[in-house]
Amino acid sequence: MTAAIIDGKKIAAEIRGEIGREVADRTARGLRPPGLAVVLAGENPASQFYVRSKTAACAEAGFHSEQYDRPADVTEDELLALVAALNADPAIDGILVQLPLPRHIDEERILLAIDPEKDIDGFHPVNVGNLSIGRTGFVPCTPLGVREMLAREGVSTRGKFAVVVGRSNIVGKPMAQLLMARGEGGDATVCVCHSATPDLAAVTKQADILVAAIGRAEAVTGDMIKPGAVVIDVGINRVDDPSREKGYRVCGDVHFESASRVASRITPVPGGVGPMTIAMLLRNTLESSRRRVGA
């Protein structure tokens, strides 16, 4: 068996196109474009790359975007004041504080300061609580992107046994909640595995749908996968490789070569889940604008 590749880059481009057309229609009717503010503190190269990608996606979709760069020695009070100003800005529908923040900043305090109605990352406890009890709110972009990817690939989750490897607040926990939620994209029986799971392979080999989000390069191998399973690789890791021009290669949490010989469908890294995360960030911002400005 050779797994079919789930092309997240292609799916994300389709979604961004849909969003762009709706934004163009809204602005043609005299409504302001959705507004996204991105806050970047420090000079983390990966964070700078992600912010550039998000800013470019906003421009492509016709959004109004603002970027606030702050030095690594920015104070917590200065960031809190910036968040408060963005909360009050009627032109801003979504606020994204790029993580990680400098070590001296209390990340939780900053994230809690964001208005839940503008928390398009879905990290605020209000939105986390809404997800857990099935109420409308913002869902973290990566698991939301996985659900959308499965839906557009025609992968039914109803009645399936889904295993999520990883229990982070950003991916693992919300992914499990989406898969077990009532309705389309949910109704799965879900098991969450983590570092204390005694025999990980014994669980993953039962999964009809396997989502790997543990942050360990190629930790899930082909012999841990049920034949015909759908494998979603959320991880992105750098592995030293002197044979490469840059001295490293990028890979996921799944060993792609061995897994693709067993799975029915699989996401690549890069080009799988990553582009979907940005597409869902735009969708959440558009949804916030709909609520604030009107559909």
121 is a catalytic site residue = yes
The one catalytic residue among 54, 160, 173, 226 = 54
User: DSSP of the chain, one letter per residue?
Assistant: --PEE--HHHHHHHHHHHHHHHHHHHHHTTPPPPEEEEEEES--HHHHHHHHHHHHHHHHHT-EEEEEEE-TT--HHHHHHHHHHHHH-TT--EEEEPSSPPTTS-HHHHHHHS-GGG-TT--SHHHHHHHHHT-S----HHHHHHHHHHHHTT---TT-EEEEE---TTTHHHHHHHHHSSSTT---EEEEE-TT-S-HHHHHTT-SEEEE-SS-TT-B-GGGS-TT-EEEE---EEEE-TTSTTSEEEE-SB-HHHHTTT-SEE--SSSSHHHHHHHHHHHHHHHHHHHHH--
54 is a catalytic site residue = yes
98 is a catalytic site residue = yes
Is 212 in contact with 252 (CB distance < 8 Å)?
A: yes
The one catalytic residue among 98, 160, 177, 253 = 98
User: What six digits make up the tokens of 20?
Assistant: 């762009």
The one catalytic residue among 93, 119, 121, 253 = 121
Active site residues: 54, 98, 121
